[in-house]
Structure 1
Amino acid sequence: MGATLSQLTQWLAERWRAERPAGRLALTPARLLRWAVLLLLLGPTALGLAGLVAPAFGLWPALGFEEVSAIAWQRWWALPGLADGLRLTLVSGIGGTLLAVLLTMGWLAAAAGTRFGERLERLLAPVLAMPHLALALGLLWLAAPSGVLMRLLLAPFEVLVPPQYPLPDAHGITLALGLALKEAPFLMLMAQTALSRLPVTAQLQAGQALGYSIPQLRWRILMPQVMRAIALPIGAVLAYSLAVVDVAQVLGPTRTPTLAVRLVELWRDSDPSSRLPASVGALLLALLVIVVMALGAAVGRYLLNRHRDWVLDNPAPRAAVRPGRKGQRGRVIRVLLGTVTAVSLLAFAVIAVQSLARSWFFPSLLPARWGLESWQQALSGLGGAFSNSLWLAVLVATLAVMLSVAVFEREREVGRLRGFVVCLYLPLLLPQASFLFGFQVGWLSLGADPGWVGVVIGHLLFALPYAWLTLAGPWARFDVRLEQAARLLGRSRLEVLIGIRLRLMLRPLAISWAVAFAVSIAQYVPTVVLGGGRVPTLTTETLALATGADPRLTAVAACLQACLPLLIFLLARAVPAGRALAPIRG
């Protein structure tokens, strides 16, 4: 971590010196926006990490702790169930990430670039837009002892009493499976973006000329390139899985929560002094994520090197040895991917049915009575949360896309900003429950109050990277000859940007905006920590209802939380390809 921070500091200093011609800083809108983005990414992160240190060592004057002491550490180690919480955190976080990576590798090996892969991408789009919490609730109702899957399995046997088994389980397996189903579409999207930047056609044609089959070339040539390209997204998935809160409260064990859930419980405790051990736990969770990511990076490099050595030691094509086994293996992978996609979509359908059910008893496959009473009851209390979520997501998504466009334009002036990618991923590579707690401490110490401004900044920290990543591929593939022709005809750079590039990229811009919108809708920890309970959203209200006794009200809130980004995403996909302005006259 220290090496990474020193590299970032050195890179920022070099960029600053490079942009000072003749000893004076030439300020331009693109340069100012680029530095604003860097400040947005690095400022809260650095303030958050710094804000953890003082409370962790017992120094918090606002709460009456004015001397350095070990009281916070003593209270933390005195908490019960820390060992079980650590075990659950590692099992669910590492297990969910590994399953998501394996599903992505299966998609690369058997489905990428095929008709099946294109259909799968279209089906995975709703899963990608669905918030984590909504998908977790759908999976819980789907796999419960009296859930839809068990009703389908026991329907031929006329079983009247559902079997009893613990769900969620006490080992974190259910949580790992839920995280894998949600994170795999994101890694597939990142893999697709990486493939768009590679000369895939030329590499496949050259390999086929040497006698290799397409599956062999995908495994030998494309796979290692893509896995190296999505190393940072995999790290972001690992950091999120180790520190997830809302999904862990639904799919995780209830008796012994994960470390991240324990931290949120301590932070929201009525006793303010409970935040001292919460700061210690947040600091230790950040260190845990860094250590696990470092070990994962080392294992990944080792496996890629072994794969390279294996490719070099086995250069002879083997396509004609056992063609049946190769084809059978691809069919198995495609069936597995199709099953995973079907389960995710069925979870969304279960939420919708549960929200409309008046009575739905085991073993009936469908409700005996339907009605809108749950919607009428829930909507009367969710109007404010719905409005807050909508306007907050609109504001955050708009800012994220505008800042992404500004960064892309700045890259065209000075070239590829190598250090910017690391800065972009930095909020995603740190656990939310760690640096956001510290950021709140620093935010309050600056005299700011919890509320809308802090929530907008917190949401933008996580929406901006996804907006930039979604737009990076289409932006790089744009035909610059159109812009060059317009510049030769005397048009300014701003006129070319607005009149040609942005108009021709309406659909990618809309999809990037929709992704940022969905990310903002799904944020729980930034809303709770930085909002101070003053900004209720659909996510916070859904999780609050999930602890209640009526699943129908919870289903209504989850359905609203899932349908809002899904509707925006479908509208973005329906945006027609843009057209440039009328012919430019000199």
Structure 2
Amino acid sequence: MTFLPAAPWVTLAVFLLPVLAGLAGAVLPAFGYLPALDGTDASLDPWRRLLDYPGFAGSLWMSLWTGFAATMISFALAIGFAAAWRGTRVFRSLQRLIAPLLSVPHAAVALGMLFLLAPSGWLLRAGSPWATGFVRPPDWATAPDPYGIVFILALVVKETPFLFLMTVAALNQVREREIVTTARTLGYGPATAWLKCVLPLVYPQLRLPVYAVLAFSLSVIDVALVLAPATNPPLGVLILRWFNDPDLGYQFVAAAGAVTQLAVVAAGIVVWWGVERLVGAMGRRWASAGDRAVLDRPVAVFSLAGTGVLWFLGAGSLLGMAVWSMARQWRFPDTLPSEWSLMNWMRRGETLIGLGGTTVTVGLISAGIALVLAVACLEHEKRDGLKPTARALWLLYIPLLVPQVAFLFGAQVLLVTAGIDGGWTALIWAHLLFVLPYVFLSLSDPFRSLDERYRTTALCLGLRPSAVFRRVTLPLLLRPILVAFAVGFAVSVSQYLPTVFAGGGRLETLTTEAVSLAGGGDRRLIGMLVFAQSVLPFVAFLLAAALPAWAFRNRAGLRGLT
């Protein structure tokens, strides 16, 4: 395969160069340079307008408060549950229950929680009027609320499963059972033993995923558009408003805001890194102090209760949207619709097919390209005996660490200049930027852990390397490859901001349409969009599990390996 040596460079060019060019395209207008809008001289006027904008300080504070709170809670729940319940039936059950939430788009969870926790939402309906006395929705600001609590909850519902599964993957790289058993024989409780002896070993592998969660939480826009307070939104929402303002002069302010968002994320990561060092020093002192089982019960109760609440919120949100999509009449305070109908689906079928067609097409193409590049890079790595470095991992995480709004504006300028803005090429490329890292991360561990003796045996039998790849490697890794493809497809389905910028309003997906209708009040249509948006990734993961089982139905050995 002559393409293999070039695969790593092509992969880097696909997502690294556009990110850097996009950042440059945002930094220059932030200092007044944008010839398309007569900005030909360097100026600090965009920064003065940014700092003078009413509500800027409040939006900055909202971003910091919600971003750090969501990351800390998600991390505490994921680590706490692994520490207290690892190796138990409860742990295995949660692992099966929480995995589907990972495939659900952020916007779908946010919209579901909006209608679950709103004053007229399903949760209040279930207790009315027999418990609350309400016969009509109360005048409460619950979703969204002025403090961003529900916004934080929505982020935690999505980010905890991600960190939990990253923790499980990291645990496979250490001798966890032996370490915990040794600590237990010295009188330590299970959670205390895990936190003192295992966490220091696995956290270095969790550092980049935690940074990615922090960067996302500090700069997320689609969830904020649905659940963050409108009068004091996070900074990303404010930047998007400036980008879309009819007054083109606000493009310079938006660029300054995008650079500020980048600085906020960078500062947030530095702060987290500093806290890591502080907590690490305190943890070493605590580990050597000899406390035995002080944390076991609190950690077990907190993690079990917290993850239970998150699963209830996530599952309840999606189930509520499914019910709304089939409701013909559902008045408050009825717990369930008084009349059911599929007319909503029939009447809106053409719209859903169009939006779903765009969503599926972009998802399949971007995930397919990402899979080809990831497989080519990993196969090249295997054939040449290359060892992945920490620098390569950091490069892979760049699109996940850099705020989307910080470089997509500059990237859009490049797309407009190239004349491909609002077309399929631009949209697929924009999705590929975020699909590729997830596909590579999903596939890298299974690919690298494949027993090298299979390849060596095939080569000794006279097969060429390309034949070994086709006839040995691909069959053995069929399930991980399909799962990685499903992950990439799910990531593509969830993309909001890249679709808005690259689609130019001419190409809409289920996600962009659902978010744009969030404030419209048509719960039936939103329910259909959210349900369709959630089902597509589920179908992809279902096929990823079913196809290998069918393909190897007569090959018990391959079924066990894949």
User: Given the two structures, how large is their TM-score scaled by the length of structure 1?
Assistant: 0.89
The amino acid across from 2:158 in the alignment is: K
Given candidates 436, 440, 443, the residue that maps to 1:471 is 443
Which of 259, 263, 271 aligns to 1:295? It is 271
For 2:2 and 2:278, locate their aligned partners in 1 and report how far apart those are by CA, in whole Å: 44
Out of 139, 146, 149, which is 1:173 matched to? 149
SS of the counterpart of 2:249? helix
- Superposed displacement of residue 442, structure 1: 3.2
Distance 1:465 1:561 in 2: 22
CA distance in 2, matches of 1:554, 1:518: 19
Q: Is contact 2:151-2:228 (8 Å) kept?
A: yes
1:97 matches 2:74 = no
> What residue in structure 1 maps to residue 527 of structure 2?
555
Task: Go from structure 1 to structure 2 and tell me whether the alpha carbon gap of 1:447 and 1:218 turns closer, same or farther (over 3 Å shift).
Answer: same
Instruction: Give 1:142's aligned amino acid.
Output: L
| Partners of 1:91 and 1:176 within 8 A in 2 | no
Match of 2:214 in 1: 238
Determine whether 1:330 maps to 2:305: no
Distance in 1, matches of 2:299 and 2:278, equals: 25
Tell me which residue corresponds to 2:340.
370
Partner of residue 277, structure 1: 253
- AA aligned opposite 2:309: T
Counterpart of 2:474 (choices 498, 502, 507) is 502
Question: What displacement does 1:516 show?
Answer: 0.7
| Alignment CA distance shift 1:37-1:581 (3 Å) | farther
| Helix, strand or coil at the partner of 2:220 | coil
Runs of 4+ in 1 over 6 A off after TM superposition: 580-583
**Among candidates 313, 322, 328, match of residue 352 of structure 1:** 322
Instruction: Give 2:25's aligned amino acid.
Output: G
CA shift for structure 1 position 374: 1.9
**Counterparts of 2:425 and 2:156 in 1: how far apart (Å)?**
32
Q: Which amino acid aligns with 2:427?
A: V
Shift, 1:373, TM fit: 2.3
Q: How far off its partner does 1:212 sit?
A: 4.2
Q: How does 1:453-532 map to 2 (within 5 A)?
A: 453-532=425-504
Q: 1:422 aligned to 394, 397, 402, which one?
A: 394
Q: 1:87 aligns with which of 61, 66, 85?
A: 61
Does residue 164 of the first structure (1) align with residue 139 of the second (2)?
yes
SS at match of 1:546: coil
Aligned pair 1:73/2:47, yes or no? yes
Specify the alignment match of 2:25 in structure 1. Answer: 51
Query: 1:245-284, aligned counterparts within 5 Å?
Result: 245-284=221-260
Residues 1:41 and 2:11 are matched in the alignment: no
Q: Please give the secondary structure, in 2, of the residue aligned with 1:358.
A: strand
* Equivalent in 129, 134, 141 of residue 103 of structure 2: 129
Paired residue for 1:184?
160
SS in 2 for 1:527: helix
1:395 to partner: Cα distance: 0.7
Evaluate the alpha carbon distance shift between residue 492 and residue 212 of structure 1 in structure 2; reply closer, same or farther with a 3 A threshold. farther
Name 1:5's counterpart in structure 2.
Answer: none
Give the secondary structure class of the aligned counterpart of 1:256: coil
What SS class does the counterpart of residue 99 from structure 1 fall into?
Answer: helix
* Structure 1 residues 476 and 306: CA distance shift in structure 2, 3 A: farther
In the aligned structure 2, how far is the partner of 1:560 from the partner of 1:463?
20
Equivalent residue, structure 2, for 1:434: 406
Q: Distance in 1 between matches of 2:153 and 2:167?
A: 21
Residues 137 and 332 of structure 2 are in contact (CA less than 8 Å); yes or no, is this contact kept in structure 1?
A: yes
- CA separation of 1:96/1:582 partners in 2, compared to 1, >3 Å: closer, same or farther? closer
Say which of 343, 355, 358 aligns to 1:385. 355
Judged with a 3 Å threshold, the aligned counterparts in structure 2 of structure 1 residues 231 and 170 are, in CA distance, closer, same or farther, namely: same
Deviations 1:517-551 (A, max 9, x none): 01000101111112212211111111122232311
Task: Give secondary structure in 1 for the equivalent of 2:313.
Answer: helix
Task: Assess if the C-alpha contact under 8 Å between 1:239 and 1:431 holds in 2.
Answer: yes
Contact kept? 1:86, 1:258, Cα under 8 Å: yes
* Distance in 1 separating the partners of 2:50 and 2:179: 55
Out of 310, 318, 322, the position equivalent to 1:340 is 310
Q: What does residue 397 of structure 1 align with?
A: 367
Q: Does 1:202 align with 2:165?
A: no
Unaligned runs of 5+ in 1: 1-26
Paired with 2:31 and 2:186, the residues of 1 have a C-alpha distance of 63
Aligned to 2:560: none
**Correspondence for 2:544:** 572
Distance across 2 between alignment mates of 1:549 and 1:533: 22
Query: Which has the higher mean CA deviation after the structures are superposed, 209-218 or 353-362?
Result: 209-218
Ranges in structure 2 where 5+ consecutive residues have no aligned partner: 558-562
Deviation at 1:332, TM superposition (A): 5.0
CA shift, 1:213, in A, is 4.6
**1:576 partner SS:** helix
Evaluate the alpha carbon distance shift between residue 469 and residue 344 of structure 1 in structure 2; reply closer, same or farther with a 3 A threshold: same
How far is the alpha carbon of 1:232 from its aligned partner?
Answer: 0.7
Q: What CA distance in whole angstroms lies between the structure 2 residues aligned with 1:200 and 1:528? A: 44
Q: Do 2:129 and 2:135's aligned partners in 1 also have CA atoms closer than 8 Å? A: no
Distance of 2:556 and 2:490 partners within structure 1 = 34
Any conservation in 2 of the 1:38–1:420 contact (CA below 8 Å)?
Answer: no
Query: Deviation at 1:65?
Result: 2.1
**Structure 1 residues 349-371: Cα deviation after superposition (integer angstroms, max 9, x where no partner):** 00100111111112211100011
For residues 197 and 525 of structure 1, do their structure 2 counterparts lie closer, same or farther at Cα, with a shift above 3 Å needed? same
Q: d(CA) in 1 for partners of 2:555 and 2:358? A: 36
State whether residues 91 and 171 of structure 1, in contact with CA within 8 Å, keep that contact through their aligned partners in structure 2.
no
Q: 1:93, 1:242 within 8 Å by CA — same for their partners in 2?
A: yes
1:62 correspondence with 2:36: yes
- Give the counterpart letter for 2:212 in structure 1: A
Cα deviation digits, residues 464-515 of structure 1 (max 9, x gap): 1111222233223322222221111111222222212221222221111111
Cα displacement (A) at 1:463: 1.0
Measure, in 2, the Cα distance between the counterparts of 1:113 and 1:480.
29
Larger mean CA deviation between 421-430 and 374-383 belongs to 374-383
Report the identity percentage. 37
Q: Is the 8 A contact 2:189 2:296 kept in 1?
A: no
Give SS of 2:348's match: helix
8 Å Cα contact 2:443-2:484 kept in structure 1? yes
- Matched AA of 2:486: A
DSSP 3-state at the match of 2:489: helix
Structure 1: distance between partners of 2:178 and 2:4: 36
- Letter of the structure 1 residue corresponding to residue 348 of structure 2: A
Distance in 1 of aligned mates of 2:87 and 2:11: 34
> Judging changes above 3 Å, is the alpha-carbon distance between structure 1 residues 81 and 327 closer, same or farther for their aligned structure 2 residues?
closer
Task: Give the partner amino acid of 1:358.
Answer: R
* AA at the equivalent of 2:9: W
Structure-2 separation of matches of 1:436 and 1:112: 40
Find the counterpart in structure 2 of residue 24 from structure 1: none
